[in-house]
């Protein structure tokens, strides 16, 4: 059961040098009950389109209040968002793939709504639902 889905590609990051490189291909970030423990939320990145069989998927367990989604304004060539785990400092970057008007490094109102929804869900306790 999916709660929310956004078209997004993965970004390969070398946190030592600060270099970030979008990985070619289509993907989506899906939030829903975790495959590890359905009482927790999970974030799963899966390839889509022609990329469907070439890139490994990613499945992460989200503990309510431990994850924050934010815009990465330093990226000037695309709309990049970060998923950061507060407890470990682990970071995952994704580039938004839905069409958007305006500058590539600026979030549109639609992008801001996506971030708001991701953060809302990341702080939801499925056991209380």
Chain centroid to CA 129: 22
Give the mean pLDDT of 106-127: 88
pTM for the model: 0.87
Decide the pairing of beta strands 58-62 and 26-33.
unpaired
The proportion of the chain whose per-residue pLDDT surpasses 90, expressed as a percent, equals: 46
Residues paired with residue 8 on neighbouring β-strands, in sequence order: 96
4-128 maps to which CATH number? 2.30.29.70
Compare 98 and 103 and report the one with higher pLDDT: 98
55 confidence band (pLDDT: 50, 70, 90): low
CA distance 67 to 110: 21
Q: Residues 42, 61: contact at Cβ < 8 Å?
A: yes
CA distance 85 to 121: 14
Sign of the torsion angle spanned by Cα atoms 22, 23, 28, 32: negative
Strand residue runs (E) in 23-103: 26-33, 41-48, 58-62, 67-71, 80-85, 91-96
């Amino acid at each position: 059961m999916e709660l929310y889905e956004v078209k997004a590609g993965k970004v390969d990051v070398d946190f030592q040098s600060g270099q970030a490189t979008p990985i070619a291909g289509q993907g989506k970030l899906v939030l829903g009950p975790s495959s590890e423990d359905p009482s927790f939320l999970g974030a799963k990145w899966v390839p889509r389109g022609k990329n469907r069989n070439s890139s490994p998927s990613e499945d992460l367990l989200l503990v309510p209040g431990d994850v924050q989604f934010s815009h990465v304004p330093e990226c000037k060539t695309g709309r990049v968002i970060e998923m950061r785990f507060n407890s470990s400092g682990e970071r995952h970057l994704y580039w938004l793939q839905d069409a958007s008007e305006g500058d590539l490094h600026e979030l549109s109102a639609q992008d801001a709504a996506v971030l708001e929804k991701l953060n809302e869900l990341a702080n939801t306790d499925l056991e209380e639902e």
